[in-house]
Each structure stands twice: as structure tokens, then as C-alpha cells.
Structure 1
Amino acid sequence: MHISYIECYFSLLINVLEIFNFKYYLTNAYQALNKDLSAVGSNQTYGIQLFDYSLATTGLTYTDAQKTLQHVGRILLSDYLWSAYCEKKVDKVIQKQELNTFFNIGGDTVRNMADQVVESFDMDIEQTEDELVSVILIFNEENNLILGCQVMGKQDITQIVNTASIAIQMGMTIDELAFSDLGGFDGETKPWGILQMAANTALMQLPDFDNFDDDEYEAKEENQSNQILNDSD
């Protein structure tokens, strides 16, 4: 095992223990003042940087969820984090500034704002990378409750599991997450982030339990499990 990995592991372990002790002392302080402090529990939310990849997880994995629930859904979505359309707009602003007043996609005011933003920093379009990222969303197919989320990619998307962890803690469903008011994406071409895209993809694949065939579902589950095992090999 590489020494840097060992140091990283023990550093994470020590930090976790320090945080646990802090929470323990904080709880005791509240109790000393005769005040109740509710504990919300833990979704086992972790993140790690491994070589060039950022990985994070929260809640249940697909395998763990299957141990306690009969109908577990799993969505794996891989996509680019940003939209190429956004880069093309910036490229036009940089290379064709004399034509900015003629671009009326969002109005001259928006064009002028884009000019000011681009001119405020040095940006090389050729060096701008947009790596693929992957999100796994685990949910209960009977009531649509979100059970877990795992992410991986060269772009740092570990903050996504924080959103997923809150969704799990608040008892949110797939459809509630799919249409939550979350911003910071690429406008016309990507109105949703990759987590919401995964939730919307899950909605399109939910079974109809009013006309449900157990044998057909079990066969589908077996095929999906075999596919996951083959992918892991």
C-alpha cells in the first residue's frame, strides 16, 4: 500500500473521530442546561480523492438496499457536467467581439454582461476540459423514496451527495428531487443538474404496481444484478 494513501486514510479517520467527539461534547453541554438536542443520525456520507478521481457516497448501495427491500431501483447516469453550448457562447464572445451587438439570443444586455464577465479573467477555450461524471441513484420503487447515491468523476462533484443526503434525511421521493428548485446549470440546453437528470430518468423507468407481474420483475432484477456483477468484473 502506498504511504501517501495510508497517511490519507488515517487523516480521514482522525478527522472523523474528532468530529464525533465534538458532537459528543456538544450534546453533553446541552443536556447540562436541561435542553434536549435531537440527533438526526447519519447517512454514512463520505468522499475521497483517489488519483485523478473524486468519489463520494451517501445512504445505501444497491446491494445493501436489496438485503432489506424487495423492489429496489437503481439508475446509473453518465454525462458531461457542463454543456458544450455554454463553451460555444463564450468562444463567440472572445473571438467575435465585433459581432456581439448582433447576437440577440438573450438580448443585448445579456451579451454586454457576457463581455464583461469574459474580459474579467483569462480563459483558454482549448484548455477547458469537460470530463464525464457518473451518478448512481438508489430508490424504493414502491414509494419512490430515495435510499442512496454514489458519484464518481474527474470533475469534483462530491457536493452532489450532500444534496442527496439531505434528500434522504428529509424523506424526499424521486419525483420531488427531480423537480426541486436547484440552480447553477447551463440554461437552454441543461435546465437540470446531473442529479436531477438521474431522478428524471428514474421516473421514466418506474414500474406500474397496479398491473405488476412479480415473475417478470424478478427476471428483470436477476438480469440487472448479473449485469452489475459483470460490469464490476
Structure 2
Amino acid sequence: MKIAVIGSTHAGTAAVTNMAHLYPEADITVYERNDNVSFLSCGLALYVGGVVDDPQGLFYSSPEQLRELGISMRMQHDVKDIDTINQRIEAVNLVTGEFVTDYYDKLVMTTGSWPVTPPIEGIDLDNVLLAKNYNQANTIIEKAEHADHVTVVGAGYIGVELVEAFEKSGKRVTLIDGVDRILNKYLDAEFTDQVEEDFRHRGIDLRLGETVEKFEGKGSVQAVVTNKGRIETDLVIMCVGFRPNTNLLRGKVDMLDNGAIKVNEYMQTSDPAIFAAGDCCAVKYNPTGGHAYIPLATNAVRMGTLVARNLMRPVLKNVGTQGTSGLHIYDWNMASTGLTETSARLLGVHVKSITINEKHRPEFMPTAENVQLKVSYDPDSRKVAGAQVLSKADVTQSINTLSVCIQSGMTVDELGFVDFFFQPHFNQPWNFLNKAGLAAAQ
């Protein structure tokens, strides 16, 4: 059996590692356009900020390790065409220019995503950079050495992490986003307001509710022009989001409007010979029951593993995702899962919410930090639909607990009486998760 895998970051690496063990007789070939595999882009800002000294720690595999498993690794090969009728691949060796033709019995699409690059005048100027892969991270580090003022466009996770990294390294920093607040996809306003206040206190220039109209400069960027003003800058990092990298299968398998590949519970596309996993495909979103595009490394490694398990026959279903994620910025620990009030409103879903503010442990302890927790739930079924937490204490694991609650269909009333331990070093006799459930029941 010939298995072809296109792309080898999170999903691809998970898929081929498992396939090598499950199907030792199979002929497995990986096509990867980069010279590396498995780069943890979620650690990019830590690398740029110098928190991670050795970048090799951001790779959890290598082409050599995969070759040792018997996998044929065609690195720096760019796939140009997929003939799904004849099950044929055409690729080009980016080093030699040689064209390669290959065939497959099973095709695994793990092509990931690529940063969105809006058609903005001047975006091709030098020092307007993207932030996704290892080579781009190295370019950012190199260019930042000579920059006094850095502008980050996009206030999602990677954007705000880079803002922190640059500010800590002594740069003047501006953050631009077309939405009127940061992290709007993950947290509601009462949470992001506190983080924004901290940013402003540290001298970060927040330009929220502004859209970039053009970049100015002679050869290299010198200014960003928005709909509300002009910002002189030495370096621009574009972090405005990601799009699924699926042009190779456009019109050949079912996709969402944004190009994300639709898969069934066994990670199979509408073409029975093709499976997909990771940032290139949509995933079952448990809070709504529909398909959603949620490009997270956690989703990718799970889906890649499921592809390997289900490649020969359907044996293990994908249980779906809640889009659970967390972030540490300055002194703040924050995490979310499922629907926020903001995301529910955008999806046309009606939820009710309860917000509590509690100390994370008894106040007789040397320190006791405030915990702000918001739990959203369906007003009819009363099932937990989402949650958000913010604290200077690390209580983010509570969101993993609430992710399980959503996946298992727990009601907010049941949450009030879940058995959680009490120990003064860690929590209160009534856990703050219990208290949210009790408050919602009143």
C-alpha cells in the first residue's frame, strides 16, 4: 500500500509517526516544502523574546527521526497538482528544480495553514514580515535587532505574545487591530479590558478599531497608515489570522466557504481515498454540533493520530473539540473553552452566562489572587456551553475541566456539585467552579 502525506508539521508528524508503527509494510512518503518538520509555532513568541534559548526545543521530531521509522522524506518538495481520479501527485524539488510524479492508494492532507496577507499597498516592502514558521521566526529576530519601533498588526494570540516579547526587549510597540479590543475570539470584554489596561500602563500603543490602509517606505517600511492616522515604524509583523492551505484540492473535495476541508468522524474527506487533518480542515465543534475552523496544535495532533488509526477502516471516532486554549501574558493567566458571549452572538446562538470573582485560595494564606470566571450555558438544556478565566494565579487547568464538562454534556446545575478536593494551598472549600454552578442555579 502506498500512502502519500502532504505536509508535516503537527498533524502530519502525528499521522506518519503512528502510521509507521501501525502499517510497517506500507510505503509511506512525505512531501514537505520546508527543510524541517514539527515546528511548534505556538512557541514562536517565546523564541523571539529570548525565553527559549535553544530553538531545537521547539521541534519534537526531525526528518532524520522519521526516516529511521522507514518513512521516505521528500523535504523541500512542493506539490503542484493532485489528480484525484488517477490518484497521482506531481511535485517539484525546490533545490534542484526536478519534477517528481508519484501515485498513492491513500492520501493524507496535512498541509496546514498560512498567514492571511491582505492586499494592502506596500505589504511587499522589506521589514513587513509574517509570523508562522521557523524561518520567519529567525527573520523576525534578525530584523528586530536593528528596530527601535515595532508595529504588530493583529491582536490574536500570536500578536499579543509578540507585543509582550518586543516590549520586554525594550522596543517601542504599537498594536493595531480592526476590532475594538484584543483577543476578541477568545475572551469577552470584561476580561480583555483588564489586559488592555495593563498594556497601556506598560507604554504599549493600542490602536484598536483601526484598519491598515497602506505601508509607506522606500525599499523598507517606514510608516503604517491606518484609517485614523500614521505611525512611523521600523518593523511590521503581520498576525491577522490564518487561512487553510487547501488550493490543491479546491473543487475536488467538500470544503467550507473559507476553504477548510470537511471530514467525517473518521477524518475521511468526501473522496474515500483522501484523509485530512490539522489546520487545513474543519473540525466538529461540540458547542454547536457543526463544522468549524479552529487552527490549534492540540486539534492537529489529535486529528493526525485519528487519521492513522482510521486509514484502513473506521475504528475510532473524532469526539470533536471545544476550541480550548490558554495564554500567559505578563502577570496574567487566561484560558477559554467553547462559546463566549461574543462568539455565541456571532453564531446566532443564545446563551446565558454567570460571572464570579473569587480568591483562588483562603485569604489566611500568604497570597490569594482574584479569579474571574465566566460560564456560559444553554438556557433551555442548561448544558455548559463555554467558559473563560483570568487570574494572576495559574488556575487555567479549570478550563480543561470545563472542556470535559462541555464534551460530556454536563449541566451548569450539576457543575455546582462536582466533587473537587479542598486544600488551602490550592483552592477554597467551595471550588470556584462549584460556585459558578451554584450561582447559575439561583
Superposition TM-score tier, normalisation by shorter sequence: 0.5 to 0.7
TM-aligned CA deviation for residue 42 of structure 1 = 1.1
1:200 to 1:39, Cα distance in 2 relative to 1, 3 A = same
Identify the structure with the greater helix proportion.
Answer: 1
| Match 2:374 to one of 136, 140, 143 | 136
Quote how far apart the aligned CAs of 1:37 are: 1.2
Partner of 2:436: 198
In structure 1, the partner of 2:354 is 75
Query: What's the offset of the Cα at 1:6?
Result: 2.6
Alignment pair present for 1:179 and 2:417: yes
Normalised by the length of structure 1, the TM-score is 0.59
User: Equivalents in 2 of 1:73, 1:172: separation in Å?
Assistant: 15
User: Alpha carbons of 1:19 and 1:69: their partners in 2 closer, same or farther (altered >3 Å)?
Assistant: closer
Task: Give the structure with the higher percent strand.
Answer: 2
Corresponding position: 1:31 with 2:310: yes
2:336 corresponds to which residue? 57
Q: How does 1:14-163 map to 2 (within 5 A)?
A: 19-32=298-311, 34-66=313-345, 67-70=347-350, 72-85=351-364, 87=365, 128-163=366-401
Q: Following the alignment from structure 1 to structure 2, what is the Cα–Cα distance between the partners of residues 78 and 192?
A: 13
Q: Please name the residue that 1:167 is paired with.
A: 405
Unaligned runs of 5+ in 2: 1-44, 50-160, 166-238, 243-294
Shift of the 23–51 alpha-carbon distance from structure 1 to 2, 3 Å rule, reads same
Partner of 2:292: none
State how far apart, in whole Å, the 1-side matches of 2:417 and 2:296 are: 37
User: How many angstroms apart in 2 are the aligned matches of 1:145 and 1:178?
Assistant: 12
> In the TM superposition, what whole-angstrom CA distance separates every residue of 1:205-231 from its partner, at most 9, and x where no partner exists?
xxxxxxxxxxxxxxxxxxxxxxxxxxx
The SS at the match of 2:315 is coil
Secondary structure, counterpart of 1:149 in structure 2: strand
CA separation of 1:176 and 1:37: change in aligned 2, threshold 3 A: same
* Structure 1 stretches lacking a partner, 5+ long: 88-127, 205-233
Higher RCO (Cα < 8 Å, 6 or more apart): 1
Q: Report the equivalent of 1:6.
A: 162
Please state how far the C-alpha of 1:143 moved relative to its aligned partner: 1.8
SS at match of 1:42: coil
Judge conservation of contact 2:339–2:387 (CA < 8 Å) in 1.
Answer: yes
Q: Distance in 2 between matches of 1:185 and 1:199?
A: 20
Cα distance, 1:20 vs structure 2? 4.9
Conserved 8 A contact 1:136-1:149: yes
Query: Counterpart of 2:330 in structure 1: which amino acid?
Result: F
Code of the residue aligned with 2:320 in structure 1: it is G
Q: Equivalent residue for 2:178? A: none
Aligned-partner Cα distance in 2 for 1:148–1:167: 9
| Residue pair 1:185, 1:193 contacting (<8 A) in 2 also | no
What is the identity, as a one-letter code, of the residue corresponding to 1:68?
Answer: G
For 1:137 and 1:69, how far apart are their aligned partners in 2?
15
Deviations 1:129-158 (A, max 9, x none): 211111011111222111100000100010
Q: Which amino acid letter does the alignment assign opposite residue 162 of structure 2?
A: I
Residues 100-138 of structure 1: per-residue CA shift (max 9 Å, x gap): xxxxxxxxxxxxxxxxxxxxxxxxxxxx22111110111
2:142 — aligned with what? none
Give how far 1:19 is off: 4.7
Q: Percent identity?
A: 29
Give the ranges of 4+ consecutive aligned residues of structure 1 lying more than 4 Å apart after TM superposition. 16-21
Alpha-carbon distance in 1 for matches of 2:413, 2:296:
36
Closer, same or farther: CA 22–59 of 1 in aligned 2, 3 Å? closer
8 Å Cα contact 2:376/2:386 also seen in 1:
yes
- 8 Å CA contact 1:58, 1:148 repeated in 2: yes
1:32-90 per-position Cα deviation (integer Å, ceiling 9, x unaligned) = 453511101111111010000001000000122234334x21111111111125x3xxx
Distance 1:24-1:147 versus aligned 2 partners, 3 A rule: closer
Q: Structure 1 residues 57, 139: CA separation in 2 closer, same or farther (over 3 Å shift)?
A: same
CA distance in 2, matches of 1:18, 1:59: 16
1:181-205 per-position Cα deviation (integer Å, ceiling 9, x unaligned): 121345xx9432111111111111x
| Contact kept? 1:56, 1:158, Cα under 8 Å | yes
Relative to structure 1, the CA distance from residue 144 to residue 30 in structure 2 (aligned partners, 3 Å threshold; closer, same or farther) is same
Q: Flag the 1:145–1:79 CA change in 2: closer, same or farther, 3 A.
A: same
Q: C-alpha separation between the residues in 2 aligned to 1:21 and 1:150? A: 22
Which secondary structure does the structure 1 equivalent of 2:333 belong to? strand
